[in-house]
Amino acid sequence: MPRHSAALDRATQARIAEAALLLVGEHGPEALTFRALAARLDISLASLQRRCTDLAGLLDLCADHLAARLPDPEPEPVPAAEWADATEARFTALYRLLCAHPGLLALRGTRPWLGPQLLARLVEPQFADSLAAGMSPEVAIAAYRRMYLLTLGSAGFVDHRDPSAARAAVRTALAALDPADFPALTAHLATVVPAITDHEVYRGALRQLIAAADPTAHRAPGRGTPPA
């Protein structure tokens, strides 16, 4: 009978993901190495590598561990009249989750987020709701893709955990511009700089995409304009 390994007990997927996310959150994305993670988990490098063979696998594990924190999907598609609200709630939840973990976003780069938790909690219910609301598969997946890319880009472009530093960097860069060459930007620093970290920029853009895709709005001409 094989000997039970306490190290492997400490190397569950959940513990590995939590430790990796803490390491990145505390020390930045460059701190995530297999050696540092093994030390934090108090296991051997070999034990960790048996669970995650490479960095790509580790990042996929972390991403899907986070996705498990998204709201549980509804057992059935929502009524068409509730499509817009359900869509906004799903993507806003994803946005908040991603903004809280900018280091993981930086490490993953352009790798797709296609783990089972994200598929089950976001992609499948969103696609199913859109089909049930009357969209064709082509229109439904295009609408999903637009909102997904908006969310990923909006969360990843700025480290929202330190908005003052992000605004200061932009202010410094713009203040160095020659007003003769950049009259619009230099004349409106007070307006431009806060928008860099304003979450409402994302929310307004998301609502506009939702309003443009909303099948109930298309069936009812004259409905009000989307909120900003």
pLDDT digits (tens, 9 = 90+) for 18-45: 999 999 999 999 999 999 999 999 999 9
pLDDT at 203 over 70: yes
Average pLDDT on 122-133 reads 97
pLDDT at 224 over 60: no
Which residue in 165, 27, 159, 140 sits closest to 80, CA to CA?
140
Residue where the block lists tokens 């490490």: 107
pLDDT at 112 over 90: no
| Cα–Cα distance list, 175 to 99, 155, 162, 200, 203 (Å) | 27, 25, 20, 24, 28
Mean pLDDT rounded to a whole number for the chain: 89
- Cα torsion at 50, 56, 62, 68 (round to 10°)? -100
**Could you give the CA distance from residue 196 to residue 59 in angstroms, rounded to a whole number?**
27
End-to-end CA distance of the chain: 64
Angle at 39 (CA atoms; ends 35, 43), nearest 5 degrees: 100
Would you state the pLDDT for residue 69?
96
Would you state the pLDDT for residue 163?
86
pLDDT grade for 228, boundaries at 50, 70 and 90 = very low
**All residues at 6 or more sequence positions from 65 whose CB lies less than 8 Å from its CB, including other chains:** 13, 14, 17, 18, 21, 117
Of the ranges 7-16, 19-28, 58-67, which one carries the lowest mean pLDDT score?
7-16
pLDDT at 188 over 90: yes
Average pLDDT on 66-94 reads 96
Would you state the pLDDT for residue 9?
67
Of the ranges 19-28, 108-117, 176-185, 203-212, which one carries the lowest mean pLDDT score?
108-117
Name the token pair of 98: 């991603």
What's the predicted TM-score (pTM) here?
0.85
pLDDT grade for 220, boundaries at 50, 70 and 90 = very low
Would you state the pLDDT for residue 27?
92
Would you state the pLDDT for residue 176?
95
| Percent of the chain's residues with pLDDT above 90 | 74
